Amino acid sequence: MDWFAAPHALLSHLPVATGLLLPWALLAAQRPGRGIRAWWTVSRYLGWLGLGGLLLSLLSGFFSLPGLGLVPAQRVSLRLLGGAGPESLLLRHVLLGSCSLLLGGAALWAMNRPRKEHQSLGLLALVLGLLWSVLLVLTGDRGHGLAHLQKRTAAPPVPAAVPVPTAPTVRVPTTARDPEAQAPLRALDYAALQPVHPDPVKSLAHGGRWIRAWVSPEAAAAYRAGGTLPLGTLVVLSSQEDRWGRPGPEVGPLYALEIQAAGPSLTFYWPRVPAERRREVAGADRAYWRGGDTQLEACRTCHAAGPADPAKRSRWRPARRND
């Protein structure tokens, strides 16, 4: 069933292409006279192709329904038809598709009626065929709208749920004992710390991103000097993805280091990993590693003692424009 449902987007190109091509063949087939048979054949060929493609698309679409999670929760009523929600879009798509199957059958019947050698394909075939083409294109258009809506809503809901650092109480009770179970609240509040870098610096150690470090005010001097950090110090690297050698608009992960009584503790938080970067985090669309997480092992090659070697700090800033 999976195999069959997957090619819906692919198969639906057949009926849509028919909707775009058929009108021209039907119009050309309206001229009575010798040699018109060739256009009959083109129209009939397109008609059969369109109907076959439509059948396959309807079947594959039907099988892909459960995976879409779009089947309306409420009873399907005609009032839903006018709505703007995804269920209404789906209903319109399905209705248009089903109507075009009926109309396609009628159009194909009209196109295949026996004609005399010199006759045109007939006005009935033209009218039904044109109506069918309109329906096919409309169905495809609704499907396109639906697919893109799917993509939009498929984004993980995490960004909206980024917690307000000062209000950990809104979280569900299970996290009450550990307010940072879902997100590193204190690291997310990094802008309350003292910035070390006035401009972002390019850090090859952290995926070539542009970073800025933020340190607890009481430890700022020690951090700048590369000395030992006092207990309770929090250092956060905010990051931006590189675009064309400069800091781009896309935010990258947060890196945090906290000096706890039990030793330094690293945190890596990337609430929404863009699809093209998931390779870096074993395919996940969200990464939140902290404490003893084994995925932090790679970080420990440079952060074995907690803070990285101050001599290795990045200094590569984008050139300033003075105009």
Q: Which residues bind ligand HEC (CB under 6 A)?
A: 203, 205-206, 211, 213, 235, 237, 255-257, 266, 268, 296, 298-299, 301-303, 307-308, 312-314
Measured in whole angstroms, the distance separating CA 154 from the mean position of its chain's CA atoms is: 6
Instruction: Give the C-alpha separation, 255 to 211, whole Å.
Output: 9
Handedness of CA 294, 298, 299, 300 (dihedral sign): positive
In the bound state with ligand HEC, the residue whose beta carbon lies nearer, of 44 and 303, is 303
Shortest spacing between CB 255 and ligand HEC, in angstroms: 4
The burial class, CB within 10 Å (0-12 / 13-18 / 19+), for 48 is middle
Shortest spacing between CB 304 and ligand HEC, in angstroms: 10
Shortest spacing between CB 81 and ligand HEC, in angstroms: 50
Instruction: Give the C-alpha separation, 222 to 105, whole Å.
Output: 80
In the bound state with ligand HEC, the residue whose beta carbon lies nearer, of 40 and 255, is 255
Shortest spacing between CB 314 and ligand HEC, in angstroms: 3
Angle at 272 between CA 269 and CA 276, to 5 degrees: 110
Rounded to the nearest 10 degrees, how much is the dihedral formed by the CA atoms of 153, 156, 159, 160? 50
In the bound state with ligand HEC, the residue whose beta carbon lies nearer, of 255 and 288, is 255
Give the SS3 label for residue 183: coil
Shortest spacing between CB 264 and ligand HEC, in angstroms: 9
Instruction: Give the C-alpha separation, 59 to 54, whole Å.
Output: 9
Shortest spacing between CB 60 and ligand HEC, in angstroms: 42
Block residue for tokens 């550990």: 178
Q: 269 with 287: CB under 8 angstroms? A: yes
In the bound state with ligand HEC, the residue whose beta carbon lies nearer, of 16 and 259, is 259
Shortest spacing between CB 94 and ligand HEC, in angstroms: 46
Instruction: Give the C-alpha separation, 91 to 20, whole Å.
Output: 23
In the bound state with ligand HEC, the residue whose beta carbon lies nearer, of 129 and 307, is 307
β-partners of residue 290 are 267
In the bound state with ligand HEC, the residue whose beta carbon lies nearer, of 86 and 253, is 253
Give the SS3 label for residue 254: strand
In the bound state with ligand HEC, the residue whose beta carbon lies nearer, of 90 and 308, is 308
Tokens of residue 104, six digits: 């396609």
